[in-house]
Structure 1
Amino acid sequence: MSEYTDREFMEVDFNNGLFSEYDFHHCTFTRCRFRGAHLEEINSTGCQFIDCDFSGAQLNASIHTRSAFTNCRFTNANLFVSKFEECKMIGSDFAAANLDGITIVRGDWSYTNLRNANLTKQSLRGVMFVEADLSACKLEKADLRDADLTRARLGNALLKGADLRGAVLGGIDFKSIVMLDVRIDAIQAVDFARSYGAKIQ
C-alpha cells in the first residue's frame, strides 16, 4: 500500500494510472486527469480535488472522509459501494456514473448532476442538495430527512416510500413529482397544498 501526504499536484496526467489501495492524506489535486485510472479501494482524507477529470475511472469501494471534489467530472466512472463522509462535492458531474451501493454521510452535494442516479433506499439524511439535478433519480425508500433540497430538480424522480420530513423544499416544483407514499411533515404538507392552489386559513 502506498501513501501520499501533504502533496500538491497541478495539471498532472494520471490517465489509466494504477492507484488501487493508495492512501491520500491532505493532498491537493488541481485540474488533474484521472481518466480510466484504477482507484479501487483508495482512501482520501482531507484532500482537495479541484476541476479534476475522473471520467471512466474505477473508484469502487473507495472511501473519502472530509475530502472535497469541486467541479469534477465522474462521467461513466464506477463508484460502486464507495463511501463519501462529510465531503464537499459542489458542482461535480456524475453523468452515467455507477453509484449503486454508494454511501453518502452528510456533506455538500449542491449543484451536482445526479440525473438518473440510483439512490434507492440510501440514507441521505442531512445532505445538502441545493440546486442539484436529481431528475429521474431512483430515490424510492430513501431517507432524505433534514436534507436541503432548495431549488433541486426532481422532475420524474422516483420517490415512492421516501422520507422527506424536516427537509428544506424551498423552490421545489411539486407538480413535477409523484408524491405517492412519500412521508412529509405538516409544514411541507401546507406548501404542497399551496402549490396546487389551496388557500390555507
Structure 2
Amino acid sequence: MKIKQPKFTQELKKINILSDNETEFSMIDTTEFENLKLKHYKLNECHFKNVSFINCSFANVDCMDVIFENCDLSNIDFSEGFLIRTIFKNCRLIGSDFTNARIQHTQFINDKANYANLSLSKCSNVIFDNSDFMETSFNETTFKDVTFDNCVLSKCEFLHTSLKDIDISSCEIGGMLLSSDSLKGVIVSPLQAVELSKILGLKIRE
C-alpha cells in the first residue's frame, strides 16, 4: 500500500509554546503542555518530540504533515478532527479519542493505545504497525486501504465495522467483540479462525 509521508516545505523553527489558533513550520522538543483546550486548531508541518500533553483537547483539529514522536498523548481529544500525512511513533495514546475523525495517510507505529476510541472514524490509507490497541473501540468505523501488522487487538470492539480484505493474521485478537457483518472477507490465520468461531458461538467438532 502506498502511503503519503509528512512533508516539510521549509526548515522547522524551534518553539516551546503554541499560539492561540495555529502552529506551523515548528519543532517542539522535550516540553509539557497542560490543560490546553484548543478547538478547531490547526497544526501544519510540525514535529513534536518527547512532548507530554496533559489533560489536553484538540477537538476538530486540522492536522496536516505532523509527526508525534515519543510523545505522551494519553486521553487527548482529537474527536471530529481531520488528520492527513500524520505519524504517531513510539507514543502513548492510552484513552485517546478519535471519534468521528477523518484519518488519511496516517501511521501508528510502536504506539501504546489501550482504551482508545476510533468509533465512527473514517480511516483511509492508514497503517497500524506493531501497536497495542487492547480494548480499543472501532465501532462503526470505515476502513479503506488499511493495514494491521503485529498489533494487539485483544478485547477490541469492531461492531458494525467491515473488515473485508483486511489482513489481521499477524495480530492478537483474543476476546474481540464483533458483529457478524464485521467478519465477512477478513483475512485471518487458521488458529484465529478457530478463535473467531468461538466468538460467534460456533461449536467445532473435534
In which range does the TM-score fall when normalised by the shorter chain? 0.7 to 0.9
TM-score normalized by structure 1?
0.79
Bigger shift: 93-102 or 170-179?
170-179
- Aligned pair partner of 1:135 in 126, 134, 154: 154
Unaligned runs of 5+ in 2: 1-19
Q: Secondary structure at the match of 1:175?
A: helix
1:75-111 deviation digits (Å, cap 9, x = unpaired): 2233222221120111222222233322222211122
1:122-154 deviation digits (Å, cap 9, x = unpaired): 222321111111112222332222323241111
- Aligned pair partner of 1:31 in 50, 53, 67: 50
2:182 is the alignment partner of 1:162: yes
> How far, CA to CA, are the matches of 1:103 and 1:176 in structure 2?
27
CA change 1:118–1:110 in 2 (3 A) is same
The aligned counterpart of 1:21 is 40
The aligned counterpart of 2:78 is 59
1:148-191 deviation digits (Å, cap 9, x = unpaired): 324111112123222452x543576322223749xxxxxxxxxx
Letter in 2 for 1:107: V
Q: Secondary structure at the match of 1:69?
A: strand
Deviation at 1:115, TM superposition (A): 1.6
Matches within 5 A, 1:46-125: 46-125=65-144
CA change 1:2–1:131 in 2 (3 A) is same
Aligned residues: 183
Identity of aligned residues (%): 17
Deviation at 1:45, TM superposition (A): 0.6
Task: Give runs of ≥4 in structure 1 deviating > 6 Å.
Answer: none
> How far, CA to CA, are the matches of 1:100 and 1:162 in structure 2?
14
Deviation at 1:35, TM superposition (A): 1.8
CA change 1:129–1:171 in 2 (3 A) is farther
Q: Is the 8 A contact 1:83 1:103 kept in 2?
A: yes
CA change 1:163–1:14 in 2 (3 A) is same
> How far, CA to CA, are the matches of 1:12 and 1:171 in structure 2?
46
TM-score normalized by structure 2?
0.77
CA change 1:173–1:28 in 2 (3 A) is same
Structure with the higher fraction of residues in strand conformation: 2
Q: Is the 8 A contact 1:135 1:155 kept in 2?
A: yes
> How far, CA to CA, are the matches of 1:172 and 1:131 in structure 2?
15
Letter in 2 for 1:113: D
Q: Secondary structure at the match of 2:194?
A: helix
> How far, CA to CA, are the matches of 2:76 and 2:160 in structure 1?
29
RMSD: 2.5
